[in-house]
Structure 1
Amino acid sequence: MADNTEALRSGPMGALLFRLSLPAALGMAVQASYSLVDAFFVGQGVGPAGITAVSMTFPLQMIIMAVAQAGGVGGASVISRSLGAGRRKRAEKTAGTVFFATWAAGLLLSVLWILLAPFLLRLIGTSGDILPLAEEYAAVLFLGAPFFAFSITANNFVRAEGNASFAMMTMIISAGINTLLDPLFILGFGWGVRGAAWATVISQGATALWLGWYYLAGRSLVAFRWKHFRFRASILAECISVGAAAFARQGAASLSLLAVNLALVSTGGDDAVAAYGIVNRVLLFAVMPVFGIVQGLLPVVGFNYGAKQHCRVVSALRISIGASTVLCAAGAVLFLTVPEEITGLFTSSPAVTALGTDAARMLALGMPLTGFQIMASGLFQAIGKARPSFALSLLRQVIFLIPLVTVLAPVFGTAGVWASFPAADLSAGLVTWLLYRKEMRRLRQSCGSGAEDSPAETGER
C-alpha cells in the first residue's frame, strides 16, 4: 500500500495515469455493459415496451446514484488530500463517517422508492401498458438500494488510495454476475423486467460483500475501524460540500433524463422513449472509459495538490484531456457511421430503429467535447473547490439541456429533442473552458514560482 502513496507522489506522470486509469476505464466500460445487457435481453424477452419501462424507471435509480456519489466522491477527495498531507487518521475517520451515512441513506431511499414508485412513475409520465411493467421492475430494483449506494461509495474510496486494479475487479464481478443472471431470469425463467431487476439486485449485493471484505480484512490503506462508523457532522459537511458537484451531476442527469423522456412521450410516443433508452445506454458505454480516466486522474490531482506539487497537477490534466478527447472523438465517428446497426442490435422494431438512428447521429456531434468537460470538472472536484465544481456539474444537463429541450421540442418535435444535445454540449464546453483556463493559469504560476518541490524531486519529467 505504501507503494501506491509513493507512486502518487513521484511516479512518472504518463505511466502513473495509465496504470490508474486503464483499470478504471476497463472497469467502467464493463460496468456500463450492465445497462446494455439489460436493454438487450429485455428487448429480446419483452420488446420495446420493456425497454421503455426500464427507461422510465432510470431517473429514480439515478437519485440513489447521486446520493452515493455525493459521499463517495466528496469523501474520496478528502481522503486523497489527507493521505497527501500525511493525515492518515483523518482519512480513516472520513471513511467510517461516509460509510455510516451511505448505508443510512440507502436504507431510507429503498423504503421511500418502493412505497412511492407507483405515484412517482405516474408523475413522470408513465402510463398505459408501460406503467405495470415499470411498477413491476421498480418493486424489485429498489430492494438493492443500500448495496448499490455502498458499492459506489466504497469503490470511490478504493480509487482514492490508488488501488485501481481492485476497483476494476469490483466492477467486473458486478457486471459479470448481472450478465450471467439476465438471460437466465429474463429468458430462461420468463420473468421479464422483474428478472432484469433481480439480476441487478443480486449483483449489487455481491459487490457490496466483496467491498466489505476488502475493508474488514485490512486490505485497504485506509483502515476501517468500527469506532469511526458513526455520524460526524463536520467531516460529513466537508465531504458533501465537495461531493455536492457529483450529486448535482447525477441529479442533473436524472432531471434532464426526465425532461427528455417527457418531451419524447409528447412528440414521439413510447417508441421514441425506447429509442433514446437504447442510444443513451450505448452512448454511456462509449463514454465510460473517459469516466475511468477521470477516476484515475482524481487521486493523482488530489494527492499532489495536497502535497503542493502543482507541476504534477498541470501535467496530469494535459495528458488526461488529450486521451479523453481522442476516445470521445472515436465514439462520435462510430455513432455517425453505423447508427442503424447499433440501434438494430437491441430491437427488431423499424420505428424504434429509425428514431434511434436519428438520435445517434445528433448526439454524436457533441461527443468530442465531452472528455474535456469531464476532466475540467474533475480538476475542481479533486482540489476541493466546491463552487466551480458544482456549477460545472449543472451546466450541461440543467442550465442548457433542459431549457433547450423545453423550447425546441414543441417547435420541431422529436428532431428538436435530438438537436438540444449538441447545442447543450457546445454551450457548456465554452463556459467550462473559461473556468478551466483561469484555474490552470493559477496552477502554472504556482508551478513556476518555485513554491513546491522541484521536478527532479517529484519525479516529473
Structure 2
Amino acid sequence: MNAENLHYFEKAPIAKAVAHFAVPMMLGMSMSVIYSILNAYFLGTLHNTAMLTALALTLPLFAALMAFGNLIGIGSGTFISRLLGEKRYEDVKHVSSFAFYSSLILGLLVIAAGLPLVDSIVHGLGAAPSSFAFTKDYVTVMLIGAPVVVLCFTLENIVRSEGAAITSMIGMILSVVVNIILDALVIFVFHWGVVGVASATVISNLAASIFYAIHMGWKSKFLSISLGWFKMNKEILSNVLKIGVPVFIMSLFMGAMSLIFNLFLIEYGDQAVAAYGISSRLLQFPEFIVMGLCEGVVPLIAFSFTANRLRMKQTITFTIQGILVLAVLFGAIVYLISGHLIGLFTNDPLLIEMGSYILHVTFLSLFITGVTSLFTGIFQATGQGTAAFVMSVIQGITLIPVLYIANRMNGFHGVVWSLVISDLAAFVVGAVMLYMLRNRLQPDMEQLAE
C-alpha cells in the first residue's frame, strides 16, 4: 500500500474513493465474464450442443474451486484491510503469507480427492450419455489445475485488500487476454475442443497468479509470499475462517444451486440446459459488474470500520445508489436485444427462445441481488461472522424447496422463476440482519459532529 492508496482509504471524497476501489474491480470482473462468454462462443462455433451442455454442467465445479479460493482470499483479505486500518503492518505480512501457502495446499487436496472420483463427479453433475465424455474431459483438466485456480482467486483478493485495485484489475485482464488467445488457438488451430478450452482456463489463471505473486513478493510494501513470514495462530485462523467459511459455504451453495438447477432443467431436454448455460453467462456480465462494485468497496468499508465509521456509512449509501443506476441501465439493454444476444451463440430457434425467456425473468432481480451482495460484503468487512454465515446459506436453503414446488406447479416456467423468488428471500433476510446490527455499525457522536 502506497501513500496514494492510503489517501483513498482515509481522505478522498466518497465518490472518488468508491471509484478508485470499485471501477478496477468492475472492469476486471467484467473481463472475466467476457472470457467465460467467449469459451461458450468458441465452442459454439463447432455447432455441437453436447459440448455447450458440458460447459454448462461444469459450472458447479468451477464454483467449487472459486469457493476454496474465496475461503482463504476473502477471509484473509478483509482481515488485512482491518489490520491496515489499525496500522498493524507486520501482521499483514503474516496473514498474506498464510493465504498464499494455504491456497496451494487446498488445491493439492482437491487433486488428491477429486481425480480418483472423476467419473462419480461427472455423473453427479448430471451429464447425459451424449455429453458425458466432454464433461469428463473438462472436469479432469480443471481438477489437475485446481491449485492454480484456487491460488488465483486468493491472490486477487489479497492484492485488492491493501488498496491496489488497479493491480488487481490488471491481473484479471491479463488472465482474460491469455485465455482468449489460447481459446482461439486450441479451437481453430489445434482442434482440441473441450480439453483445449479447459486447459486455456487453467493456464490463464496461472499467468494471473504469477503476476500477483510478483506484486506481493517484490512490489508491495506490506504483503508477502515469503515462507519466512508464514504464521498460523489462533488470531489469524479465527479472523480468516469466521469470514472465509461463510464465503466458502456461499460459493459452494452457488455451485450446488447451479447443479440442482441443471438437474431440474434436464427434464426439459438438452436445449433447456444449454439455454440456461448461455443465458447465465450473459447474465454474469451485468451481475459481475454490480458484484465488482460491491466487492470493490469491501476493503474501503473494512478499513473505515476500524478508522472512520461515518465514512463507512457514506460509502454504503453511495454504493446502493450505484447499484440502482446499473440495474436500470443493464435491464433496459437486455429487454431490447436479448434475442440477438442469444443468437450470437446458436442458430437453434428453440435455444434462442428459451434463452431469451430465462434472461428476461432473471434480470428482474438484478438490483435485489446487487444489494444482497452489498449486505454480505458489509458483514464480511465488519467481521460479523454469524450474519455472513446466514447470508451464505439462505439463498440455497430457499431455492431447493422453491424449485421443487415451482416445478410441480408450473414446469419449466416455475423452475426459471424460482431464481427470482430465492433472490428476494435472501434480500429480505439481509435487510433484517443489517437493521438488527445497525447499532454496532453506527458512527460515534464525535464523528457525527465532525
Compute the TM-score of the two structures, normalised by the length of structure 1.
0.93
Does 435-444 or 334-343 show the bigger shift?
435-444
Given that 2:93 and 2:222 are in contact with CA atoms closer than 8 Å, whether structure 1 keeps it comes out as: no
For the pair 1:368 / 2:378, whether they are aligned, the reply is: no
Aligned length: 449
Equivalent of 1:436 in 434, 437, 444? 434
Task: Report the Cα distance in structure 1 between the residues aligned to 2:200 and 2:233, rounded to whole angstroms.
Answer: 35
Question: Could you give the per-residue CA deviations for residues 397-436 of structure 1, whole angstroms, max 9, x where no partner exists?
Answer: x122222112211332211111111222222222222222
Task: Report the Cα distance in structure 2 between the residues aligned to 1:97 and 1:234, rounded to whole angstroms.
Answer: 12
Question: What's 1:269 paired with?
Answer: 269
Deviation at 1:188, TM superposition (A): 2.1
- Could you say what secondary structure the match of 2:80 adopts? helix
- Could you say what secondary structure the match of 2:45 adopts? helix
Task: Report the Cα distance in structure 2 between the residues aligned to 1:426 and 1:23, rounded to whole angstroms.
Answer: 28
Deviation at 1:200, TM superposition (A): 0.8
Correspondence 1:140-289 to 2 at 5 A: 140-229=141-230, 231-232=232-233, 234-266=235-267, 268-289=268-289
Given that 1:77 and 1:160 are in contact with CA atoms closer than 8 Å, whether structure 2 keeps it comes out as: yes
Structure-2 change in CA distance of 1:4 and 1:355 (3 Å):
same
- Could you say what secondary structure the match of 2:27 adopts? helix
Task: Report the Cα distance in structure 2 between the residues aligned to 1:380 and 1:299, rounded to whole angstroms.
Answer: 12
Given that 2:149 and 2:205 are in contact with CA atoms closer than 8 Å, whether structure 1 keeps it comes out as: yes
Task: Report the Cα distance in structure 1 between the residues aligned to 2:168 and 2:340, rounded to whole angstroms.
Answer: 32
Structure-2 change in CA distance of 1:180 and 1:220 (3 Å):
farther
Does 69-78 or 6-15 show the bigger shift?
6-15
What letter matches 2:220 in structure 1?
Answer: R
Structure-2 change in CA distance of 1:263 and 1:292 (3 Å):
same
What letter matches 2:30 in structure 1?
Answer: A
Question: What's 2:352 paired with?
Answer: 353
Given that 1:328 and 1:370 are in contact with CA atoms closer than 8 Å, whether structure 2 keeps it comes out as: no
Task: Report the Cα distance in structure 2 between the residues aligned to 1:303 and 1:65, rounded to whole angstroms.
Answer: 25
Given that 2:111 and 2:144 are in contact with CA atoms closer than 8 Å, whether structure 1 keeps it comes out as: yes
Question: What's 2:297 paired with?
Answer: 297
Compute the TM-score of the two structures, normalised by the length of structure 2.
0.96
- Could you say what secondary structure the match of 1:126 adopts? coil
For the pair 1:306 / 2:295, whether they are aligned, the reply is: no
Deviation at 1:328, TM superposition (A): 2.1
Question: Could you give the per-residue CA deviations for residues 336-375 of structure 1, whole angstroms, max 9, x where no partner exists?
Answer: 2322112111112222112111111111111221221111
Question: Could you give the per-residue CA deviations for residues 185-211 of structure 1, whole angstroms, max 9, x where no partner exists?
Answer: 012221111110111111111111111
Does 379-388 or 321-330 show the bigger shift?
321-330
Task: Report the Cα distance in structure 2 between the residues aligned to 1:250 and 1:438, rounded to whole angstroms.
Answer: 25
**Identity, % of aligned pairs?**
29
Task: Report the Cα distance in structure 2 between the residues aligned to 1:204 and 1:115, rounded to whole angstroms.
Answer: 24
Does 119-128 or 144-153 show the bigger shift?
119-128
Question: Could you give the per-residue CA deviations for residues 263-304 of structure 1, whole angstroms, max 9, x where no partner exists?
Answer: 0012x1111111000111111111111121123211111111
Given that 2:148 and 2:206 are in contact with CA atoms closer than 8 Å, whether structure 1 keeps it comes out as: yes
Equivalent of 1:409 in 407, 411, 433? 407
Question: What's 1:341 paired with?
Answer: 340
Task: Report the Cα distance in structure 2 between the residues aligned to 1:236 and 1:195, rounded to whole angstroms.
Answer: 38
For the pair 1:95 / 2:93, whether they are aligned, the reply is: no
Given that 1:98 and 1:236 are in contact with CA atoms closer than 8 Å, whether structure 2 keeps it comes out as: no
Task: Report the Cα distance in structure 2 between the residues aligned to 1:454 and 1:170, rounded to whole angstroms.
Answer: 41
- Could you say what secondary structure the match of 2:219 adopts? coil
What letter matches 1:28 in structure 2?
Answer: M
Task: Report the Cα distance in structure 1 between the residues aligned to 2:164 and 2:91, rounded to whole angstroms.
Answer: 19
Task: Report the Cα distance in structure 1 between the residues aligned to 2:62 and 2:47, rounded to whole angstroms.
Answer: 21
- Across the aligned residues of Structure 1 and Structure 2, the Cα RMSD in angstroms comes to 1.7
